[in-house]
């Protein structure tokens, strides 16, 4: 099951691993500062999660990729069941029922579900030998998968994750091509569905979040408060920042959720424009190397999985940093490898592990082909 | 899968450009708007605690208190620290005997404006309420008592017209006193206004670093670049006023409209300056209410008017001092000049009456002054002419400011050119004779008359009146000491001045003198009465408001003058009958104070 080969070392995605580890190291350094005054509990927990994530990543990297493809449907069904379980038995935290609690550990299944969605969409297209653009009937299956997951997450309700689900699936579907007419139909259905979704699924605080985004200064201590405080933190960091552990906005806890969703504003305040621009550059490079892996992968499934994972990282970064910088409404989406949170750290490492596995096996494909031929 | 290479490349481009947007936004926030956000981040964590500076005291020449301060206990609310607005409102409502809904409403309103900015819910609570608040302190988190200072007037209304009052600053005040913050009061009139910058002091500022929950943070790391400012109390103003003379002056004017001013003839220091009616400055301490304000401003007797410096009146016969000295200087008359007074005088066809209709008979300068014969001066004035009368009037300082540290009126000295400008009419001779006895267009303030008398008393120096002796700071060190200032030297010979001085002694000390009611036992008073007509003599009226203004101006002691006094009683009647006796009482008190008959502490 786990294969070792010299070429593995040679073709291993060292750059991807390096960038991912570099980024999570910076994430830890930043989290140390963000939890400095409240005890280092979250920092220590995150450290453990990064270690667990790293080991998980290694295991996944060295797993046979056929295994993933073969069990995609199983993973998907388990994901759906977990989401249903969460909906019934989950713990409600700040208005959303999205957590399963095992003793000291809380898990947010909606994080892992993103990967199973990527896998099942990738598998759908890999079975098809035709190329797009596809009509609505052709891609009805991935659309149904998306809607199932989307609805269950919206029911929790977890607006941020639900949005990511739509964006992820949309990216992959668009990438594979959709006929113009079908795209129009899908978009109009989305608009039609979002109106009742607004009135039934969204809770008041979520509506307010979106509404106050337009002008947060109208109500500085109401819903726009988070956005303003975050922008003050970022802006006051200026070129070189206020210095490590010396960010006034973060250390005096003016920044909300500074260990999770707003971790990036702590960085921007303490390290300034230089630090945060470099951090975005590292992230951009990481996404580029994942896209490169997609580009050089030998089969459609691997290519699509890598693309999906690149999209996953990209959308999370865009939404999270956009929110921190006051460009987007306050939607709870973590910055992968940077925000505190076991489920998101684990999900990120699983995703990196899958990409590393794909990258590694690009060189092994010829050998596999040979063995397959022999078997036949 | 090479067929997807192009598509994936396009994906990287899209992702790259969106990352670029994020970086541009970072650039905008941190580089372009960085300074602005830095200020916000400072505002976020820094709280200013103002400790108000007590305003300077206003004291009399012997350091007796006229205006001081008292603490005002103000109820301050920190909206973000209130746990349960409903409960706190209910408790406060009970203690303050206020409607709890009203309290809740003002708290909610303030909180909406800014949860971090404390605001004053109610000012100047009494001791019992204070005690009740303190007793319930554990349940009143977010409520604190702040001590501010309010003006206190131990002598009541004493001197209110020159002391002035405080009020909320308006636009003009902010221009005058640029450092004013809107929450304090500034001097609106009188000394409080003129010496605002000395009296105010500087509020102390304590900076407190707080975290997002409003808790104080001790860490030095977040306290760079901020420094506390110590409270600097305002400077004390020491007046030239003698509280006893002031009290007496105000007492003498009770139920009258008028003015009494007493100055030191050698220094120009004002010992008393009373104006009646006056107002109670206590009304302004917590902001005057509309009905009180209307009572003050619509009162026909103008209690807000400092008559001594801003009331203008015809000087009546007191002005004869000017006419006489001018005529002596111009050799129009001399000691020997005699005039027959039949009780009237004709200029052209017009007949001008002497106040004594039966006439004074033969009078010379001395007796004309002593008995205030008008005909003598009509005669003199015709020879002297208006041009020279107005020239000498201006030399005495009439028609211009005295230079006192308060707002004042210049009055009016008429002249040919003035009349032409005003009425496009030539000057008539009849107007000259009327001017010579202090009637007609002539208009003066009581303080101008006092300074005139002082200049005659001291031998010819027109002094600037001084109300502020010195200003001292917290440590008692003087920041300003006033000095006497001679505005002009009268151009008269000593002999001429002496002649007038003697005539003034006669006016008080001779049997026929008009000012004999001012005669004192302990020395010699020199003075001149004046009875200024309010309406023309032809009209007979018994209405009080048409009665003559009574003037008396004097100095004492005649041999070696120390003080000059002017008494004016509006519509009082004759100067000799109404004003002179009041001057006598002041002079008596001055004598007693000087000789220790009445104990003046702190002397």
Cα gap A237→B36, rounded to integer Å: 11
Could you tell me if residue B550 is inside a domain? Answer: yes
Check: CB of residue A45 under 8 Å from CB of residue A34: no
Top pLDDT among A222 and B245 is at B245
Listed residues B239, B268, B290: the one ending a domain: B239
Cα gap B461→B464, rounded to integer Å: 10
Phi, psi of B532 (to 5 degrees): -95, 125
Could you tell me if residue B165 is inside a domain? Answer: no
Nearest to B380 by CA among B337, B335, B319: B337
- Provide, as residue numbers in chain B, all residues whose Cβ is less than 8 Å from the Cβ of A300: 1
Picking from B7, B19, B26, the nearest residue to A273 by CB comes out as B26
Range of the domain at B142: 48-158+201-239
Interface contact B30-A239, CB threshold 8 A: yes
CATH of the domain at B404: 3.40.710.10
Interface contact B1-A300, CB threshold 8 A: yes
Q: Tell me the two tokens of residue B170.
A: 């308006």
Q: pLDDT-derived band of residue A1, with 50, 70 and 90 as boundaries? A: very low
Q: How many CB atoms lie within 10 A of CB A255?
A: 28
Give the whole-number percent of chain A exceeding pLDDT 70.
85
Residue given tokens 């996404």 in the structure block: A287
Listed residues B213, B239, B265: the one ending a domain: B239
Give the whole-number percent of chain A exceeding pLDDT 90.
44
Cα gap B178→B172, rounded to integer Å: 10
B332 and B214 fall within a common domain: no
B233 and B315 fall within a common domain: no
- Quick check: A214 pLDDT over 50? no
Residue given tokens 């408060």 in the structure block: A225
B252 and B234 fall within a common domain: no
Cα atoms in the 13 Å half-sphere on the side-chain side of B239: 31
C-alpha distance from residue B473 to each of A243, A254, B65, B478 (Å) = 45, 44, 16, 6
pLDDT at A339: 93
- Provide, as residue numbers in chain A, all residues whose Cβ is less than 8 Å from the Cβ of B34: 235-239
B511 and B394 fall within a common domain: yes
- Provide, as residue numbers in chain B, all residues whose Cβ is less than 8 Å from the Cβ of A275: none
Residues of chain B with pLDDT under 50: 537-538, 602-603
Q: How does the average pLDDT of chain A come out, rounded?
A: 84
How many domains are there within chain B? 2
CATH of the domain at B148: 3.90.1310.10
The predicted-structure confidence for A64-122, as pLDDT tens digits, reads as follows 767 888 899 999 999 999 999 888 888 777 667 778 887 777 888 889 999 999 999 99
B253 and B120 fall within a common domain: no
pLDDT at B602: 42
Nearest chain A alpha carbon to B22: A322
B235 and B260 fall within a common domain: no
The predicted-structure confidence for B455-464, as pLDDT tens digits, reads as follows 999 999 999 9
B518 and B533 fall within a common domain: yes
B205 and B272 fall within a common domain: no
B260 and B205 fall within a common domain: no
- Mutation choice for A interface testing from B33, B34, B41 by most A CBs within 10 A: B41
- Quick check: A210 pLDDT over 90? no
Cα gap A305→A287, rounded to integer Å: 13
Could you tell me if residue B196 is inside a domain? Answer: no
The predicted-structure confidence for A277-311, as pLDDT tens digits, reads as follows 999 999 999 999 999 999 988 888 999 999 999 99
pLDDT at A372: 44
Interface contact A284-B19, CB threshold 8 A: yes
Interface contact B16-A284, CB threshold 8 A: yes
pLDDT at A205: 66
The predicted-structure confidence for A32-59, as pLDDT tens digits, reads as follows 998 887 778 889 999 999 999 999 999 9
Interface contact A252-B25, CB threshold 8 A: no
Could you tell me if residue B195 is inside a domain? Answer: no
pLDDT at B116: 65
Cα gap A266→B412, rounded to integer Å: 75
pLDDT at B337: 93
pLDDT at B324: 96
pLDDT at B181: 63
- Mutation choice for A interface testing from B3, B8, B24 by most A CBs within 10 A: B8
pLDDT at B220: 64
């Amino acid at each position: 099951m786990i294969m070792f080969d010299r070429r593995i070392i040679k073709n291993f995605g060292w750059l991807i691993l390096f960038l991912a580890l570099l980024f999570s190291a910076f994430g830890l350094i930043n989290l140390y500062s963000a939890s400095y005054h409240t005890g280092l509990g979250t920092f220590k927990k995150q450290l453990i999660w990064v270690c667990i994530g790293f080991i998980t990543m290694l295991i996944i990297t060295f797993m046979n990729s056929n295994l993933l493809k073969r069990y995609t449907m199983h993973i998907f069904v388990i994901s759906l069941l977990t989401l249903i379980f969460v909906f019934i038995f989950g713990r409600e935290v700040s208005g959303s029922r999205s957590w399963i609690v095992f003793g000291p550990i809380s898990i947010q299944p909606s994080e892992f579900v993103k990967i199973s969605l990527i896998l099942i969409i990738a598998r759908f297209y890999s079975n098809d030998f035709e190329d797009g653009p596809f009509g609505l009937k052709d891609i009805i299956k991935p659309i149904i998968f998306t809607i199932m997951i989307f609805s269950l997450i919206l029911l929790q309700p977890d607006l941020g994750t639900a949005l990511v689900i739509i964006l992820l699936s949309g990216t992959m579907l668009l990438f594979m091509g959709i006929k113009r007419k079908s795209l129009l139909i899908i978009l109009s259905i989305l608009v039609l569905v979002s109106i009742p979704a607004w009135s039934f699924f969204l809770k008041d605080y979520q509506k307010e979040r979106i509404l106050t985004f337009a002008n947060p200064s109208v109500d500085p201590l109401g819903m726009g408060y988070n956005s303003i405080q975050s922008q003050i933190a970022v802006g006051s960091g200026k070129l070189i920042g206020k210095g490590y552990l010396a960010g006034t906005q973060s250390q005096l806890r003016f920044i909300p959720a500074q260990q999770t969703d707003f971790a990036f504003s702590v960085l921007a305040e303490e390290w300034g424009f230089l630090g945060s621009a470099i951090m975005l550059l590292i992230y951009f490079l990481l996404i580029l190397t994942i896209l490169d892996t997609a580009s050089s992968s030998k089969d459609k499934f691997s290519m699509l999985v890598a693309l999906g994972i690149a999209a996953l990282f990209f959308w999370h970064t865009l939404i999270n940093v956009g929110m921190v910088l006051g460009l987007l409404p306050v939607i709870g989406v973590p910055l992968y490898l940077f925000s505190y949170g076991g489920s998101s750290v684990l999900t990120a490492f699983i995703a990196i592990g899958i990409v590393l596995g794909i990258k590694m096996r690009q060189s092994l494909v010829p050998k596999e082909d040979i063995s397959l031929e022999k078997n036949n | 899968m090479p067929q997807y290479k192009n598509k994936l490349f396009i994906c990287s481009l899209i992702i790259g450009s969106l990352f670029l947007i994020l970086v541009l936004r970072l650039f905008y926030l941190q580089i372009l708007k960085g300074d602005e956000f830095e200020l916000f981040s400072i505002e976020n964590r820094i709280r200013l605690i103002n400790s108000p500076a007590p305003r300077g005291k206003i004291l009399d020449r012997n350091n007796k208190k006229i205006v001081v301060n008292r603490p005002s206990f103000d109820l301050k609310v920190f909206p973000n620290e209130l746990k349960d607005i409903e409960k706190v409102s209910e408790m406060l409502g009970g203690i303050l005997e206020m409607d709890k809904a009203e309290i809740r409403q003002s708290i909610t309103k303030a909180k909406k404006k800014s949860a971090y900015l404390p605001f004053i819910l109610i000012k100047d609570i009494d001791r019992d309420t204070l005690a009740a608040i303190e007793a319930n302190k554990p349940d009143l988190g977010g409520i604190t008592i702040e001590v501010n200072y309010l003006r206190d007037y131990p002598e009541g209304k004493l001197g209110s017209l020159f002391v002035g009052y405080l009020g909320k600053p308006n636009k003009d005040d902010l221009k005058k006193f640029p450092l004013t913050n809107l929450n304090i009061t500034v001097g609106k009139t009188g000394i409080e206004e003129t010496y605002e910058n000395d009296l105010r002091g500087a509020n102390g500022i304590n900076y407190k670093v707080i975290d997002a929950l409003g808790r104080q943070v001790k860490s030095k790391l977040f306290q760079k670049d901020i420094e506390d400012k110590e409270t600097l109390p305002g400077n004390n103003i020491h007046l030239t006023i003698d509280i006893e003379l002031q009290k007496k002056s105000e007492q003498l004017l009770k139920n009258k409209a008028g003015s009494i001013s007493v100055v030191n003839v050698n220094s120009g220091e004002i010992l008393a300056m009373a104006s009646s009616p006056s107002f109670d400055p206590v009304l302004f301490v917590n902001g005057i209410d509309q009905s009180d304000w209307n009572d003050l401003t619509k009162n026909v007797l103008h209690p807000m008017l400092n008559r001594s410096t801003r009331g203008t009146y015809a000087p009546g016969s007191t002005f004869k001092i000017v006419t006489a000295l001018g005529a002596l200087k111009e050799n129009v008359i001399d000691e020997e000049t005699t005039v027959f007074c039949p009780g009237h005088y004709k200029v052209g066809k017009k007949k001008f009456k002497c106040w004594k209709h039966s006439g004074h008979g033969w009078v010379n300068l001395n007796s004309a002054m002593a008995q205030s014969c008008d005909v003598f001066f009509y005669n003199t004035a015709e020879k002297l002419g208006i041009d020279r009368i107005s020239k000498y009037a201006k030399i005495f300082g009439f028609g211009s400011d005295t230079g006192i540290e308060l707002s004042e009126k210049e009055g009016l000295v008429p002249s040919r050119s003035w009349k032409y400008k005003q009425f496009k009419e030539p000057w008539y001779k009849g107007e000259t004779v009327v001017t010579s006895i202090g009637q007609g267009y002539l208009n003066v303030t009581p303080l101008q008359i006092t300074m005139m008398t002082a200049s005659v008393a001291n031998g010819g120096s027109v002094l600037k009146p001084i109300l502020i002796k010195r200003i001292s700071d917290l440590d008692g060190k003087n920041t300003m000491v006033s000095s006497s200032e001679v505005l002009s030297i009268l151009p008269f010979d000593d002999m001429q001045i002496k002649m007038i001085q003697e005539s003034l002694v006669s006016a008080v000390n001779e049997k026929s003198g008009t000012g004999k009611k001012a005669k004192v036992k302990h020395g010699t008073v020199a003075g001149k009465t004046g009875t200024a007509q309010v309406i023309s003599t032809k009209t007979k009226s018994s209405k009080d408001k048409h009665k003559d203004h009574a003037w008396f101006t004097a100095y004492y002691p005649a041999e070696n003058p120390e003080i000059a006094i002017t008494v004016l009683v509006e519509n009082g009647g004759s100067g000799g009958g109404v004003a002179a006796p009041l001057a006598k009482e002041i002079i008596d008190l001055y004598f007693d104070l000087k000789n220790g008959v009445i104990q003046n502490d702190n002397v």
